Structure 1
Amino acid sequence: MNTLNEKTAIITGGNSGIGYATAKVFKDNGANVIITGRNDAAVRQAANELGVNGYVSDQGEMESIGKLAASVKADFGSVDIIFLNAGVANFAPFEQSSEEHYDTIMNINVKGVFFTLQALLPLLNDGGSVIFNTSVNASVGMPNAGVYSASKAAIIGLSRVLATELSNRRIRVNCISPGPVETPVYQKLGLNNEEIAGFSKVLSEKILLKRFGQAEEVAQLAAFLASDNSTFITGAEMVIDGGLVVNPVVH
């Protein structure tokens, strides 16, 4: 069913993981899809595989954000859906968290997201949908995630303000907060396959459904929030975590 037919969607960080899966689901539902990413080769490969439009853009650089908005305006004129998915996930104990650790996460996950949306907002049609990819880490109190969880909590707070500010344009603003999802993020953290398997086994026991989520499951939720099937939902945080939040373990 083409629930996104004739809609144009931009997905930041769409060359892998949840962003890639969402691009595929959006396209399968009839959307004209734009993905972004920092790595030129990765963006081109993903765009070719998916049959979508790809732009190289670094969310951590203001100049790059401005160029992205200008390119999308020149090539498409307007968009109907903005999925702010790009971000970084780095972890460290509070007492060992450096200024560099803090600045890297906040620059990309908060400042970059804030100004990417600010730059793209004039292109968003009235009645459109803004979706932030946040995290259950904003509320579960996971150790070593102080800066990361703070960055995601900041975006959840921002989303509620924007839901109010943009309501006069009938623009819906919502968050998706995934729990553990099988994506390349764990390799990016420097964990080997054995470490990932061990971590997954321990954490899966704390999830009511006893498994990690799949990127495609998050993508289906994003497609719902992007579609006209969710026109009475705004200012919401949609948790998709297999029951982790109701059975949290912080040690």
Structure 2
Amino acid sequence: MNIEATAEELVRQALLLPDVARSAAAGPEVQVESSSGESVLVRRRDDMAGAGLFEHWEVIDAWITDVPRRPRGFAKVADGRWLHLNDKRQFVEFFYAVGRQLDSQDLARLLTRYQGADQGVDLPQNTLIELTDLRGALEPETAASITGFTELRLEPADDGGLLTFCTFFIVRDTPDRVFRVGLNRWEARWNRDGDFQLRVVPLARGLESPRYRPGSGLEAGVQERRNGPPES
């Protein structure tokens, strides 16, 4: 199935826009239009090691917001189902369909990108596989000294497993409007009986970032990303 046909199938089956009339691809992005004039822009993502296990797509929302929005992700699994990765129940279905075959890093990135909203994770997050992923946003020594901080760790068991990792996000605090860093700890636990539990624990808020501290020369030039979540 070519990219336009797959995009049209996504729009019909997952986004429930049945009267698709035409589509046009530009690289990984496809503009799909209905006969009534509605238009949806979707993008195929092939940047994960497990991409061959499923079709991975995102809807690109057209509206602009002051607060970055988390993307809407969809996966087509081997039996033909389209599953909404932001939906907790459907993410669990996805996990038991293909997730256990994914590399632990890819699973962590998918959880970071689409899940956690029911536990208060509303801002886009950056997955921390190892301390170097902080990329200057926070001193590694500062993160490592915080109780509960961990690099990505997978603990397999005969009947399931436990994946633990951390994420960071950058937010402009009030009233001084300085960019600061927050850290969360994620724990995903599953078993062979179909039980999948996700727990997100806030570790730290308002941490000073060497990249954005006043006087660094960077804070004035920061361009706030609108509707553009970080690439986890």
TM-score scaled by length of structure 1: 0.28
TM-score scaled by length of structure 2: 0.29
Structure with larger RCO (C-alpha < 8 A, sep 6+) = 1
Name the structure with the higher helix share.
1
Name the structure with the higher strand share.
2
Q: Which is greater in Rg?
A: 2
